[in-house]
Each structure stands twice: as C-alpha cells, then as structure tokens.
A and B are shown apart, each in its own frame.
Chain A
Amino acid sequence: MEFFDVLQSAFGLFATWQNVLVLGLGVVIGTFVGAIPGMTTPMAVALTLPFTFTLHPVTGILLLLGVYKGGIYGGSITAILINAPGTPAASCTVLDGYPLAKRGEARRALDIALYASCVADFISNISLILFAGVLAGFALAFGSPEVFTLIMFSLTIIAGVSGDQLLKGLGSAGLGLLLATIGLDLVYGTNRFVFGDVNLMSGLNFIPVLIGLFALPEIIAFYGRREIAREHNPLAGVGATFADFRRCLKTIIRGSFIGVILGAIPGIGGAPSAFLSYSEAKRTSKTPEKFGTGEIEGVAAAESGNNGVAGATMIPLLALGIPGDIITAIILGAFMIHGLRPGPLLFQDSLPLIYALFIGIMLSSIYLLIVGKISIRLISRVADIPHRLLFPVVLVLCVFGAYAVNNTIFDVFVMFVMGGVGFAMLRLNIPAAPFLIAFILGPLLEDNFRQSLLLSRGDWLIFFSSAICWVFWGLTALVIGFTVWSNVRRA
C-alpha cells in the first residue's frame, strides 16, 4: 500500500465524531483524576478500560490515551496548588510550583506547566511518529548496567536540590534509599523490614509517602506560624506571559527530548525524566540559586520532562510490543482485547490503524491545551481560598487520597507517620526533596545493580561494559566534580 493510500485509510478510520469526542473526554477525565491526590493515572486508565470493550479499537485506545495524557498534566495541578502531586511524575513540579503558589503566583505556575506539558507532549508525539524505529533500537541497547548508570547520574540531582545543606541532603537521600528497601526482596523473595506485617510486603506506596512528606508538614507548619496573613505580590493572580514562555522555551525543548529518550526506555517512567530535566535546567541556568524557591523555569523543566515521556512510552509498545510502564501495559491489554498484538507485525498488518492512532495522538496535544486553559481558570481560584479553610480541607483530601491508592487504611497511617517525619525534617532544616528523589529512584537503582551482578556472575566490570555506561559515569563524575569544586569555592 502506498503511503498516501495508508494515510487516506487512516483519516477514514479516525474521522468520526466518536473519536474526536472520546479523545477530548479522555483528556478531561485524565486531567480531573490526575488533579486528585491519591487518584493515579494508571488507576484512571484502568477504570476507563472496561468502557473501551464495546468501542472500535481506534476509539477505545484513543480514550485511554486521552486519559493518560490528561492524567500526566493533571498531576501537576495539585503539586502546584497544595504541594501534593496527583501523580508520581509530578513530584518534581512541587519543588518550584508550590513556592510560586505560596507567593500568589499559582496561575503563572499553572500556565507555564500547561505550556511546557503541551509542547513536550507535541514533541514526544512527533518523535513517536518519526523516530519510533530508531528510538526502539536505542532503547534495546539499555540493559541493567546501562539503566543503573543512568539512575546513578539521575541521583546527582540530589546535590542540586539540597541547596546549601548538601550534607543533610545526602543524609535525607540515604533515608529515602533505606525506606525504599522495605518489602519483598526481588532476587530471593525473602522479607526485608516486613516484621510479619503483610501490608509491608509490597513495600511502601509512593503516594502516601509523598503526601505525608510534602503536604502534611505544610499544613502543620501553617498552624505553627505566628500570624496567618498573606503578603501582597504584584504578580498574584496573573498568568504566564509570552516573555515567561520564551524564557523557558529552551528548557522546555531540552526537557522534552530528555523525556523522549528516557520514555523510550522501558521501565524508566516520568519521574526520573522530570528530575533529570530539572537538574539540567538548574545546571545550565544563570540563576541556579533561584531553583527550589519558586523559579518558573523549574516548573517548565519538570513538566516538560514528565510529559515528554507520554508519547515516547508508546514507542517500545507499538514498535516492539513491550510495555514500558503500568499504563502502557493496560493499553497493551486494550490492544489485545480487540485482537491486536503490538509489535513489528502490527506495522505490517494494520498500518492504517497505527496512523489513525498517530492522528489522534497529535490531536490530544491540542485538547490538552484547551482543557488545561479552561481548568486553570477554574482551579487557580483554589489559591484564593483563605488558608484557614484551605489547609483543613486539604488535610481531609489527603486522607481520602491516601486511602484510595490501595483501599487500605495502612496507607493513611503511613501518610500520617511520614507527615511527622516530614515536619521534623522541616524543623531540622533537612531538605525533603532528596528523600523523595532517592525513594523513587532507589528501587530502580538497586534492582538494576543486582540484576547486572547476576548477569555478570558477580563481575563488577559489567558496569563499565558499554559506551552508554561510560557516558553516564563520565557525566556523573563531571557533576560530582563540579559540585565539590563549587562547594569548596563557596567555603
């Protein structure tokens, strides 16, 4: 079949009112669900899955893709407004998004998060369409040692988010790494810090830990303030300007490509990509000291990093039939329910269907912009609610959200305990961000470390066995060297 014939058939498959409507509906559902702490994007996609059974394959898969993309953006809304990211991928957005909201610039932060998300999503979709084959091949070159060195490099961001508390930041990261080891050991299947409690066997869930560590201390600290008053900020209530967008554009494009590359590697996900993008933005910024205190570029970096992953995670799924994360695994399920098997054969047998999906995916970026703009107008008013009402409401929202993740009250207790830990860290000037980064990246680091040693039969040289490993070791050494040098100079 000629290219234009395929394209014509694809348009024929896509151009139905159901597809156009369902895709928009998916983005709305995803944005809404992503904005609720505790309601994760995989949960939203899984809840939507049964509705796709009776739909045409293209319609059904587009609905799921809409939910997915909306969910990734939606997670940033609560991250910015109440310091509780709706999704793990949005965890990096809290670092600068919430300080901006605290200054009254929530609308500006939400706007930049939306623009960064849309641009990154668009770049990611284009990359999916144009470079699926090349990126799938590159992703296959990533084995355990390569992922281990990549995560080592990603962990260097800890130095960046620790500010002038580098030692305490490292201590905080160590605590996060230790907490991430709770649960069943993946290699031997033995217990680690479970102490007979079945709730601990699968480890601590990310969402209650995150809500406890970030949202609860903020609530407690609010009650500890001497005067509960707001400072006037001339930018309060004002959205992002074109100048803001232009200033962040380089960061957004860089973050998008980081997202595309990491998204194409199965098992990495949006959170490491957001942190890496943030780290690069800070490293190359003329005012790195402003990161973490409410820098608009920080929000742009985090959001472009995590949204850049959205289209790219479809690359290993469509090109190789490998789901890179839980969401793409659910989408793989949707394909299979409709009798389709993603992989090279799908490109041979059902090319018009693939192209119809590509058209829908491109349209989803536009939907994201429209839905985002409308939701920002409504949601940014949350920032105007008096704190004496907002913080108690957020507390109850956190409790319901923590419970909803696994339908277990244990997660609510974890959230409360982590709230206490987070508040103690706040009082002792121990930065919480390194804890969070280590907690997310820790399992990836350890799993790939041990898998590599299993593969090499204990030979540590496996971590230096490929060019990719050497590149990441080199980058890691460079960042550590630079950090030490700048600390020594400051001293």
Chain B
Amino acid sequence: MSTNWITRDVIAGALIVAIGLAFAFILIPIGVDEPRRVKYAALSPAYYPRIVAIILVVIGAAVVARAAFRPTETGSDSEAHPTAARRLLGISAILVAFATLLTPLGFIVASSLALFAAIRLAGEQRIHVNAAISVFLPVLLYFFFLKVARIPIPLGVLKPVLEGV
C-alpha cells in the first residue's frame, strides 16, 4: 500500500472543511450584501451559499474521518521523480510568466515566448520547428480572431506595428 494515502485524503478533506468554514464565517459575512429586510429567510442571498458551505464542512469532515479509519490504496506518485518534478516546476514558472506578461507584452509576444519555452521544456530539440510554431501560431490566431471572428486581441508592444493591418 502506498504511504501517501493519509496525506492525500486528509489534505483533501481538510481543504474542503477549510473552504466550507472560510465561506460560512468569513466570505459570506463580508462578501454577500444582504438586504435589510428579507421577507423569508430562504430568499436571502446568503441562504443558499451558507447551506452549501455547511454541507461542505460536513463532507470534508467525513472525508478526513474516512481516511483516518479506512485508508484506501492509491497509485504510485510519478511526479516524485526528479526529472518530472523539474519539468513540473518549469511549466508552473512558464504559466505564471505567461499570465504576468500577457498585459504588458500583448498576446502575440507573450504567447510566442511561452510557446517556445513550453515546447523546449517538453523535449523538442529542433530549434527551427520550435521557432516556426512559436511565431506563426500566435500571429495566425491573432488574425483569425481579428478578421474572422472580429474580436480584437490586445497587441501590447506590437501595437505600433500591427494596428491597422
């Protein structure tokens, strides 16, 4: 039996409990604007989320209890391998950088950079193939959305070059 059963199920259950509690005691009181007078309690905007939040706490507790009393077998952890872990870290960094650079650089440049890095990380060694895909795909998508779907995609740094094309 894998040794990480308790960690996974207990973490999952504890997270569900924590989310339920956070909604019930923090997010609903501060995030839901309740009208001063509500005709029936069930019509309040907070009523339904509160019920769901309470149910979540109960379910989460049940997940933890089940994990503690009746452990279930889980598969091996493939991500524990150093190469896989390194790649996971790499793709996480690419995604964070992609999301951060979208606004300042624009979709085409940010996508090209992210695509190049992601293809390289996935193991593609041919630089010319990688570069061709990384440049052409975002440009193609930009013109498709602009010309066919009539959706303007933010250009960022390429605005002076491509605006009006």
- Chain A contacts to B: CB under 8 angstroms: 33, 39, 43, 47, 164, 167-168, 170-171, 174-175, 177-178, 181, 185, 187-188, 190-195, 216, 219-220, 222-226, 228, 386-389, 391-393, 395-397, 399-400, 403-404, 407, 409, 412-413, 416, 419, 427-430, 446, 449-450, 453-454, 457-458, 460
Contact = CB atoms under 8 A, between A and B. Distances in A.
A428 B118 contact: no
A59 B56 CA distance: 52
Contacts of A226: 78, 81, 83-84
14 contacts: A167-B66, A185-B33, A220-B88, A224-B78, A226-B83, A388-B124, A389-B129, A393-B137, A396-B137, A403-B151, A412-B102, A416-B99, A458-B43, A460-B42
Given A393-B133, A409-B102, A428 B15 contact: yes
Nearest to B124: A388
Contacts of B103: 409
Contacts of A220: 88, 91-92, 95
A219 B91 CA distance: 9
Given A178-B53, A399-B111, A39 B149 contact: yes
Contact of A395 (B55, B114, B129, B145): B114
A400 B42 contact: no
A474 to B, nearest CB: 23
A178 B49 contact: yes
Given A191-B33, A399-B107, A171 B23 contact: no
Contacts of B52: 174, 177-178, 181
Nearest to B54: A174
A223 B121 contact: yes
Contacts of A427: 8, 79
Nearest to A191: B33
Contacts of A225: 78, 84
A192 B12 contact: no
A180 B81 CA distance: 37
B115 A192 contact: no
A450 B102 contact: no
Nearest to B119: A392
A65 to B, nearest CB: 20
A396 B45 contact: no
Interface in B43-72: 43, 45, 48-49, 52-53, 55-56, 59-60, 62-63, 66, 72
Contacts of A187: 43, 45
A396 B84 contact: no
Contact of A404 (B55, B60, B145): B145
Among A164, A188, A387, chain B packs the most CB atoms within 10 A around the CB of A188
Given A403-B107, A404-B149, A407-B152, 15 more contacts: A33-B149, A178-B49, A178-B53, A192-B31, A192-B32, A195-B31, A220-B95, A224-B87, A389-B129, A400-B153, A404-B151, A416-B99, A428-B15, A453-B42, A458-B39
Nearest to B65: A167
In the complex, which of the residues A33, A167, A228, A392 has the most CB atoms of chain B within 10 Å of its own CB atom? A392
Contacts of B122: 222-223, 228, 387-389, 391-392
Contact of B32 (A174, A190, A389): A190
B124 A449 contact: no
Please give me the 7 A-B residue pairs with the lowest Cβ-Cβ distance, nearest first: A458-B40, A392-B118, A388-B122, A190-B33, A185-B45, A223-B91, A171-B16
B59 A171 contact: yes
Contact of B133 (A190, A216, A389, A400): A389
Residue among A178, A391, A404 with max Cβ neighbours from chain B (10 Å): A178
A391 B55 CA distance: 37
A228 B123 contact: yes
Contacts of A195: 31
Contact of A171 (B27, B63, B87): B63
B19 A450 contact: no
